[in-house]
Structure 1
Amino acid sequence: MSTKESTPTPRAGNRPRRRCGKSFLIAVGAVTALLTAACGSPGAASDGGDDKAGVSELKVTTLSLCNEISVLWAQKKGVFEKNGLKVELIKAGGGAAGLAAVQGKSADLAFTNPFSTMLAMNSGIDLRWVATAYGTPKKGETPSNAVLVKEDSPIENGKDLHGKTVAVNELGGINQIIVQQFVTDAGGDPSKVKFVALPFGELASAVASGKVDASQAPEQYSNTPGVRSLGDPYMEVGKDKWLVFAGYVGTADFVEKNEDAMKKFSTSLKEANTAVNDPANKDEKYRIEAEHCGQDAKKLATDPENPYFADVPMDAMKQMAQILVDQGQTEKLPDVEKLVPEYARS
């Protein structure tokens, strides 16, 4: 690969903050505190009443990521309005904050990831996944993530990470969990791998300098001098199917009371994805992304992208639920059948 930048900015990145044991309990406590703060807040969403024009109003959290293009396109291009929806995007500090917002009724739908959602459900919060935002590539497609090692490293697969130090952007997050499964699938034992947290901008340079033995990072970081990629761990784990990286979640009560609006939301994202995935719209897509996430549109056009789809692939979600159990994040298998309404499934 030719060298572009040594510290590129990642396109996406909602990461879960819950895990089994002490750190998981801390995260649940943090969500509880957020719920208390959110309850009864002035901008609280209604229980689903339509306005006089018959337009359902939804408040949806955003993390200001470039990969939120589907909801951005639907909002800016009038797709929501055409389908009888008015969508307001409200900023959240992360997936946990988004889940707290929907519980506290200051938002109707949270932009978050499957692992956080499933662990929240297992902690007693009844949630529904109404639409996917984007997934991860499957075998044969362009990778969007990488496990980086030094160019002259003897490490060739996940099992070779035994006794090594691997950097991720967040301990206990979605990337660490996937790397653990990557190690497991290679015949290794992830308990023999030491994980440390580093900022995105240091994930590649730490490998090149020898500070760590490996790191999980966006694929564009593999262009950093002195490193190479073992492959995309999401592709290795998902194999012939897309895994789900992020999507939109509401409380069971709100979603069930507002099923028509939820269906319109999902339909709008599907229509937006048809446009987003059309090469004829690429310039406009990157312009909208850049405006939302504060990056350069020309740079975004050169970065690997995740696949955009709104339906929920149930086999992938069930695989991800099993990964949480296999990697010790929860003892109870998350109930994916309960989590995903029939109309949201692919």
Structure 2
Amino acid sequence: MRTFRLAAVGAAALLALTACGSGSPSGGGDGSSPAAGGQSGSPASGDLTPIEVGVIPIVDVAPIYLGVKEGIFEDHGLDVTLTLAQGGAAIVPAVQSGQMDFGFSNVTSLVIGRSQGLPVKLVATGPQTTGDSEDDFAAVMVPEDSDVESAADLDDKRIAVNTLNNINDTVISEGIRQDGGNPDTIEYVEMAFPDMVGQLEAGNVDAIGAVEPFVTLAEEGGARRVFAQYADPIPDLSIAGYFTTDDKIEQDPEVVDNFVAAMKESQQYATDNPDEAKAVLPEYTSLEPDVIEELTMPRFPQEHDRDSLQEVIDLSLEGGLIDEAPSMDDLIREGA
């Protein structure tokens, strides 16, 4: 597998806030800012414990915004401030230092971090694939006139992913391998999600590993799906979740328990109220209503699919992302 970086060209400014791991939140130069629009809970009282949660402005975190808006976290004794960050690179150190209490991250980043000795642990699950190859919130996409018809046809192609050596190139490679292709021939190009559609149209890459809303935007521009990198290679893949540190779990178990309970309730609320999950998106992204109406949302389960997490660990080890696999007990808290 050959990899290199491509300078970002022509990022879509109105969509910058939706870039998973490469967004540009408004605010100070530290790459994070409190979420606008009153997204913290009501002013803390003696009955509420203030907590700060680092999130990135993508559809995956709609449930936590709904939970704050609907008072679910207050019901569990928590006054929540949601802080938008550029991605895990800003969130992980903030959680480690205690600046933030919890953070949102994809599972591969947590697997890599734990394998390197970082004391981070998944405590609540986040988005999960819909399981529908034709209607998932992530897809590998090609121009309409491309000769690529299947995952195996991607051999020797240049594929854009938002981060090298992470969840997207890992699952794309596995999908290609399962379809009979050779992922070692792929050139992965690191590129921010908002830049992908334009670069695909310009012919600078052969395919893109897109997530919503960029799947919908690419389809509106004439691109088509080849396969669903989250739905196809790993059944019921849980893509991301909320984490904290071992110290936080040990020192503030009641706060952690309350956060987990509120997250599960928020995930269920988003599942039961899909229109409300979409309606909350403009409160923390720059998405236009017509795009929101068309995009596909993830599933929002209450518990993480541990079989899929084990497959992510195994693929990370096989792909050389980690030298030693972390134990499941070290990586994910019981009940998450």
Mark yes or no: TM-score above 0.5.
yes
Shift of residue 149 of structure 1? 2.2
Residues 255 and 141 (structure 1 numbering): CA distance in 2 closer, same or farther, change over 3 Å?
farther
Shift of residue 81 of structure 1? 0.9
Pairing 1:296–2:288 present: yes
Shift of residue 180 of structure 1? 1.6
Shift of residue 98 of structure 1? 0.9
- Aligned counterpart for 1:308 among listed residues 295, 300, 313: 300
Shift of residue 97 of structure 1? 1.4
Equivalent residue number for residue 269 of structure 1 = 263
- Aligned counterpart for 1:328 among listed residues 320, 323, 332: 320
8 Å CA contact 2:17, 2:57 repeated in 1: no
Task: Give the 5 Å matches for 1:38-187.
Answer: 53-139=46-132, 142-187=135-180
8 Å CA contact 1:73, 1:276 repeated in 2: yes
Q: Partners of 1:244 and 1:229 in 2: how far apart?
A: 21
Please state whether the residue corresponding to 2:57 is helix, strand or coil.
Answer: coil
8 Å CA contact 1:175, 1:216 repeated in 2: yes
8 Å CA contact 1:14, 1:113 repeated in 2: no
- Give the AA of the match of 2:154: L
Shift of residue 248 of structure 1? 0.9
- Give the AA of the match of 2:307: D
Shift of residue 306 of structure 1? 1.0
Equivalent residue number for residue 238 of structure 1 = 234
8 Å CA contact 1:164, 1:193 repeated in 2: yes
Q: Which moved more, 1:59-68 or 1:139-148?
A: 139-148
8 Å CA contact 1:137, 1:144 repeated in 2: yes
8 Å CA contact 1:146, 1:231 repeated in 2: yes
Q: Which has a greater percent of helix?
A: 1
8 Å CA contact 2:133, 2:232 repeated in 1: no
Q: Partners of 1:274 and 1:255 in 2: how far apart?
A: 23
Please state whether the residue corresponding to 1:318 is helix, strand or coil.
Answer: helix
8 Å CA contact 1:15, 1:113 repeated in 2: no
Residues 260 and 273 (structure 1 numbering): CA distance in 2 closer, same or farther, change over 3 Å?
same
Please state whether the residue corresponding to 1:341 is helix, strand or coil.
Answer: coil
Pairing 1:188–2:181 present: yes
Shift of residue 260 of structure 1? 2.2
- Give the AA of the match of 2:266: A
Please state whether the residue corresponding to 2:254 is helix, strand or coil.
Answer: helix
8 Å CA contact 2:19, 2:194 repeated in 1: no
8 Å CA contact 1:148, 1:229 repeated in 2: yes
Residues 257 and 15 (structure 1 numbering): CA distance in 2 closer, same or farther, change over 3 Å?
same
Equivalent residue number for residue 8 of structure 2 = none
Over the matched positions of the two proteins, sequence identity in percent amounts to 25
Q: Partners of 1:331 and 1:146 in 2: how far apart?
A: 29
Tell me how many residue pairs correspond in the alignment.
Answer: 301
Q: Which moved more, 1:203-212 or 1:115-124?
A: 203-212
Shift of residue 274 of structure 1? 2.7
Task: Give the 5 Å matches for 1:273-288.
Answer: 273-279=267-273, 282=275, 284-288=276-280
Q: Partners of 2:87 and 2:203 in 1: how far apart?
A: 31
Residues 96 and 205 (structure 1 numbering): CA distance in 2 closer, same or farther, change over 3 Å?
closer
Q: Partners of 1:90 and 1:228 in 2: how far apart?
A: 34
Q: Partners of 1:237 and 1:15 in 2: how far apart?
A: 22
Residues 255 and 188 (structure 1 numbering): CA distance in 2 closer, same or farther, change over 3 Å?
same
- 1:105-140 residue CA offsets vs partner (Å, 9 max, x unmatched): 111111111111111111111211110121222146
Question: Runs of 5+ in structure 2 lacking a partner?
Answer: 1-11, 23-29, 31-43
Shift of residue 178 of structure 1? 1.8
- 1:256-276 residue CA offsets vs partner (Å, 9 max, x unmatched): 222222222122122223322
Q: Which moved more, 1:88-97 or 1:112-121?
A: 88-97
